[in-house]
Structure 1
């Protein structure tokens, strides 16, 4: 009887887990019928949903092992996610962190620099966010803003850009020498795919917040961004911290491939866990639970 109860409970928990995944996947599904029809015709079939979730859960289980190993060994890992607007960086970051401990694995997405920060050493505002021992930091855009948006949009002078290219290889070598593993991903999508994703954002009320004036400018300056990206690869792809390009037109495959590749770069091992036993609740026969006023409770509308 006890085994049946345990199996029923595990079944419910598994279904709840899948429900969470479906909720996240709805962000790709909330489209008008017309846009969905066009998107599916241009995108082609993706990986079947059942296979996708099976592989995603398997990889997320490995990420938990990686997390435990990092915490146990005191490793320090930095992962940079770069790419064009709407290339899928946020989607893969969300799947990486979905089941991990935010005290160990955290995301850094810095806003535009303040007037004070503009007068600092360029890398200064990124340094406080670097990991201590036992931490993984995921940068949703990073110091490479200077090689991309700041350069293309004219927020940085030619001299500042040139100084960045001279400094960044040594900066990253310093990080590696200090014991930080530096991983750099560039998410690559085609011109047509970005146009379609922008159209989706324009017509989907749940995604309009993702579309900024800077995103619209990136469409106009597609070729300028391409040239900037090519020079960035040529001057910052160093052996100590190489670039890895993730083909991103198929979102699901991009997520799985990126997570799988990240796991392959770190020689983590499964960490033995201590057995956990739930202690018995202390029961006090003289204690009477207070009756709380009903206005303290959230209304049960669902």
Structure 2
């Protein structure tokens, strides 16, 4: 998906956005979502659909896929197979929700999610990848990461949490680190959930004003509102440097959470030859929504 040409500036009350030559002001504290944002959120960033997937179709499809995931995990437990699935994307891209639906009916004893907080003082003194390796799957486990070592590919360089030298070294070393994961026999998946700027702002607004989810909106989110282009440049550089044959990036256009969840599940289920796999239940991927590597990221 092509980078959206926009300039973003922070103002005293929110963010000023120049999209396609039209300047808009977004104040997250205003409880009323602007009409221009509500109208264009779903199709922002070149999203190929102007309506969300029908709810009944989504429910039926998700149930079929979740049944297959239960079968997959049972096969993994009987064979000792291991799976590691990491999710990356801009804030509010839908990583946590996708993981929740993915794992909803999987046995929590063998299907774990990892969402690490910022490094401790001890962890900052370790090899950068070390604290993540401690959570890798053992035999029969399916492990998801809600963000991962790729913090150093995006958030850290944009927000100044690592040095330029550390960032460059990370981009150079990560493909070899991931080659070791694959050679170990772990089935390894990397998903980048990509969304448009207007959709991100709409989701931020929803979070900010919800008494149930306002805890998800952080000071880091507020600080990042004015860094849309910087995050986009870091994303492009990261995916270009770390996409490989042994550890490819799956890119999922994520303005519609329903389609996102379906395509993530399909990609995993189609990539692992578990017993009694039902191809008809899994269905075919939507090539408008999911693709592979930097070429699909640029394709719009």
TM score, norm. by length of structure 2? 0.76
Alignment of 1:80 with 2:94, yes or no, is no
SS across alignment from 1:184: strand
Could you tell me which of 209, 212, 230 is aligned with 2:215? 209
Could you tell me which of 177, 182, 187 is aligned with 2:188? 182
Query: How many Å apart are 1:132 and its aligned residue?
Result: 0.8
- Offset from partner CA, 1:55-79 (integer Å, 9 cap, x none): 1100000000111111111111100
Residue pair 1:93, 1:138 contacting (<8 A) in 2 also: yes
Query: How many Å apart are 1:49 and its aligned residue?
Result: 1.4
* Structure 2: runs of 5 or more not aligned: 1-29, 43-49, 278-300
Could you tell me which of 236, 246, 249 is aligned with 2:242? 236
- Offset from partner CA, 1:182-217 (integer Å, 9 cap, x none): 100000000111011111112212111000111112
Residue pair 1:186, 1:245 contacting (<8 A) in 2 also: yes
Evaluate the alpha carbon distance shift between residue 111 and residue 33 of structure 1 in structure 2; reply closer, same or farther with a 3 A threshold. closer
Alignment of 1:121 with 2:127, yes or no, is yes
* Equivalence for 1:156: 162
Residue pair 2:37, 2:198 contacting (<8 A) in 1 also: no
TM score, norm. by length of structure 1? 0.76
- Offset from partner CA, 1:91-148 (integer Å, 9 cap, x none): 1100011101011110000000011111100001011100111111100000000111
Could you tell me which of 59, 62, 66 is aligned with 2:68? 62
Say which structure is richer in helix.
1
**TM-align CA RMSD:** 1.9
Query: How many Å apart are 1:268 and its aligned residue?
Result: 1.1
Could you tell me which of 53, 72, 77 is aligned with 1:47? 53
Q: Distance in 2 between matches of 1:106 and 1:189?
A: 26
SS across alignment from 2:112: strand
Evaluate the alpha carbon distance shift between residue 146 and residue 173 of structure 1 in structure 2; reply closer, same or farther with a 3 A threshold. same
Q: Distance in 2 between matches of 1:245 and 1:98?
A: 23
SS across alignment from 2:101: helix
Q: How does 1:1-302 map to 2 (within 5 A)?
A: 35=33, 41-42=39-40, 43=42, 44-270=50-276
Structure showing greater radius of gyration is 1
Q: Distance in 2 between matches of 1:53 and 1:40?
A: 24
Query: How many Å apart are 1:270 and its aligned residue?
Result: 2.9
Residue pair 1:69, 1:270 contacting (<8 A) in 2 also: no
Evaluate the alpha carbon distance shift between residue 219 and residue 36 of structure 1 in structure 2; reply closer, same or farther with a 3 A threshold. closer
Q: Distance in 2 between matches of 1:69 and 1:92?
A: 22
Give aligned pairs, total.
240
Ranges of 4+ aligned residues in structure 1 off by more than 4 Å = 32-40
